[in-house]
Structures are given as structure tokens and as C-alpha cells.
Amino acid sequence: MSQFDFDLFTIGGGSGGVRASRVAAGFGARAALAESGRLGGTCVNVGCIPKKLFSYAAHFREEFETAAGFGWKVPAPKFDWDLLRDNKDREIARLNKVYEQLLRNAGVRVFSGRARVCDAHTVEVDGARHSAKHILVATGSQPALPKIPGIELAISSNDAFHLKALPSRALVVGGGYIAVEFASIFNGLGVHSTLAHRRETLLRGFDGEIAKQLAAEMGRKGVCFKFGAEPLSLQRTASGDLETRFSDGSSTRSELVMFATGRRPNTGNLGLEAAGVHLAEDGAIRVNGYSTSTVASIHAIGDVTNRRNLTPVATADGMALAQTLFTGRPSALDYANIPTAVFSDPNLATVGLSEEAAREKHHTIDVYKAGFRSLKHTLTANEERITVKLIVDRTSQRVVGAHMLGPDAGEIIQGIAIAVKMGATKAQFDATIGIHPTAAEEFVTLREATG
């Protein structure tokens, strides 16, 4: 008989925590999970899933316009925000139940309540204590808003999913993928949208050229940009608008201001430090390559570790941890060549190194790229351009980076990511026959290096 109530007790019911618990239970571990909110975490409730649904909705406006070039005559479309929001809510509620059923079917005991760590082997949930051989913290992160006067008048991305009404004018502050996506979403839904960012370019860490082209395409579609200034304060005007003042002396007025300027790990009031777990300055849990903290029995995965804050990374970390703990086969995730996408309009997707990072790491590289107008838009007035780009290490001829800006970029780069992960060479890309006519075929027909 084990001296512990459970072999694994997970705090946090997001994608990573749910996956780790289910897999551990599949390996025969006695698993439990505690969640104080809705199962599915950020991704299901206020992240990937509802945001992609909103992104679909935002793209339809352009699709109606495109259809006219193909002979379709339809009445002027009318958008119903309440219907979209309520349909989204129903789908998220369905997914919440699916997650709960998956856990229970796997044999995981689910606790609805806030949990905290008491010591290396004890978790407390709503006053009741449970012992565990291993404790997993998978509590994710939350939006971090700057401490400026009037910040209580602004919203975060979490709030954007539940607006009672759609504003006519919105200011989105930030330059990361969340800010870029919501600026595109608001714009596509008919909101006059401005994106303000303290830097001069969007999407730090992404390929610089592709990021600049994204800004150009978003601008062509109607998004306004304000670069190089930070918001200093917000105040409500006599007319009811929100006035945002910036460090360059300028100001803007809008009905809604949304900040997407970063997130912070959810580690507050969890008892971690008292239990001996070391935290980084930003509150993230410090872990080794096997997701184990400074306390051997306490582990952490996902956004709470602030490594690669992507849902598929959290789930992969969860699977690797379960295998490490309950199969005797230590498993660590390889964080190289993880693909990702920004569901802006147009989409941006990438795998591997940006041109800047590749020049720093490999020194001698060849860059192959192409920019073109989609066949779909040749019968319309839409001037959107697609860009594809390959980064090749000149010495080994391996493709070390692939980038795309254009419709369904995430769908296309997912396949390209397999080749990059396997170490495919430029010659192997060239030897692959393209599917014609598609945008994806451009990746295997790039012949002339541009730099």
C-alpha cells in the first residue's frame, strides 16, 4: 500500500495539466487534478479556441467581397456580434464538458476548487489535504497590465471574449501575437482599429522582414498603426470616450482600449516558495530539462514555466513528464524547430530560425523567397500578397527556417515543419513535386537565393 493518496496530483486543468494527468493514469498512476475555474485553461476558454473562432468570423467580411469577383451576388452582409459571442460560449461550454469526461474516463479524480502546495508531498484543496508522490503545477499565466493612471478603464484579451457590445473604435496596445491577432479581429468585424506599440516593428523574435510585411498588409486592410510610443494614462472624456495619452505627447480617443502587453505566470499564493520551489524574477517556476523544479517531487509545465508558451508545447511537456515519472524512461522535450502561427489577417506562420537568428548562428546562409498575389484574388480588386521564405545554412544546405505570410499559413507550415525537424536539405525541397496551383508549392520551387 502506497504511503501517498496519489502518485500524481496536478494543480491546473489546462491543456498541459489535463494531458499529463490522463497520460499518467494510462501508465497506471493514481492521478488527481484540481481546477478552480473551467477545465481547458487559457487555450480553451480565453485563448486559442475562441480566438480562432473570432478570427474565422473576421475573415468572412473579405470573403463576401471576394465572392463578387466570382459571380456571386449577395445582399450587403450584416454582422451580429451577440450571435457570434453566444455561439462561441456554447462551444466552449461543450469543450469544458469534454475535458472533464476525458479525465474521468481515464480514471483521474477531479477536484473543483483552488489548490495550494503545503509541502513537497502535500496539496490542499478547499481545506482538505491530499498527499502525493509527485505534484505537478500547471496553472498557466494571465494578462499583465501596466500600472498607469486609468488602467482600470482598459480591458485585457480575457475580457475581449465577453464584450456586451462591439465598439465602433478600438485601440489595441502591444506588438505580440495577441495584440496583432485582436487588431485584425476587430478590424475584420468592422471596428475602426488602431494598434499601438512602443517599438518600431511587430512580433519581436519573428523574422523581421515577414513581420514588416504583415504590418503593411494589415494596414492595407484598414488597421492603423502607432509605433514608437508608450501609453502613459487613460481617462474617460465628457463624451464617454477613452482618451489614451502617449509618451510622445500625442493622444487617441476610442470606445475601447485593450492591453496585450505581456502575461505573467500564475504562481501567486500557491505556497511554492515556502515549499522550497525557486521562482524566477517574473514569477515563473524554475525547472530543469525534465520539468522538475528545485524540489525533486514538484514539477511544472506550460506557461507557468515561461519557456515556450504554446499549447502544443504544454501538452508535449505533460506527456514527456508522465513518461519520465511513470515508465522509467526519462523524456525531455526538444524545443528546437517548434512551429507556430499568428492568426492575424493575413496569417503568419513559421518554423525554425528567423533570418536574423540564422545569420547569428550559422553566419553564412542563403535566403530564398517569393512574393506573389494569390490566384484567388486575380478576379478581384484584393491586392493582398503572399510571401514565402526559406533560410538555408550554406555549409550543410539544411533548411533551418521556413516562414509564410498569407491565407492558411499555419496549415501549410505544419507540413513544412516535419521536413525542417527531420533536417531536410534545400535539394530535397527542390526534388519534391509541388501541388499546382497552390501557394504551398512555392516552397519547393524557390530556385534563386536573394541573399
Q: What is the pLDDT of residues 150-174, one digit of tens each?
A: 999 999 999 999 999 999 999 999 9
> What is the arithmetic mean of pLDDT over 379-401?
97
Tell me what pLDDT residue 451 has.
73
Average pLDDT over the chain, rounded to an integer: 97
Q: What is the pLDDT of residues 428-451, one digit of tens each?
A: 999 999 999 999 999 999 999 987
Rounded distance between C-alpha atoms, residue 442 and residue 448, angstroms: 12
Q: Which three cell numbers stand for residue 144?
A: 499583465
Q: What is the pLDDT of residues 260-282, one digit of tens each?
A: 999 999 999 999 999 999 999 99
6-142+264-326 and 151-261 in the same fold: yes
Tell me what pLDDT residue 450 has.
86
pLDDT at 287 over 70: yes
Q: What is the pLDDT of residues 78-132, one digit of tens each?
A: 999 999 999 999 999 999 999 999 999 999 999 999 999 999 999 999 999 999 9
Q: Which residue has the higher pLDDT, 451 or 310?
A: 310
pLDDT at 1 over 70: no
The pLDDT confidence band at residue 32, using thresholds 50, 70 and 90, is very high
Q: What is the pLDDT of residues 187-201, one digit of tens each?
A: 999 999 999 999 999
Tell me what pLDDT residue 283 has.
97
Q: Catalytic amino acids?
A: 436
Tell me what pLDDT residue 49 has.
98
The yes or no reply on domain 346-444 and CATH 3.30.390.30 is yes
Cα 230 to chain centroid distance, Å, stands at: 23
Q: What is the percent of the chain where pLDDT is above 90?
A: 98
What pTM did the predictor assign?
0.96
The pLDDT confidence band at residue 362, using thresholds 50, 70 and 90, is confident
Tell me what pLDDT residue 363 has.
80
pLDDT at 179 over 80: yes
> Residue ranges of the domains in the chain?
6-142+264-326, 151-261, 346-444
The fourth-level CATH superfamily of domain 6-142+264-326 is: FAD/NAD(P)-binding domain (3.50.50.60)
CATH of 151-261, one of 3.30.565.10, 3.10.20.30, 3.50.50.60, 3.20.20.140: 3.50.50.60
Evaluate whether 156 touches 260 at the Cβ level (below 8 Å). Answer: yes
What is the widest separation between alpha-carbon atoms in the chain?
73
Q: What is the DSSP string of 205-239?
A: TS-HHHHHHHHHHHHHHT-EEEES--EEEEEE-TT
pLDDT at 74 over 90: no
- The residues, ordered by sequence, that sit 6+ positions from 443 with a Cβ below 8 Å of its Cβ are 388, 390, 402, 404, 412, 416, 429, 434
> What is the arithmetic mean of pLDDT over 4-13?
98
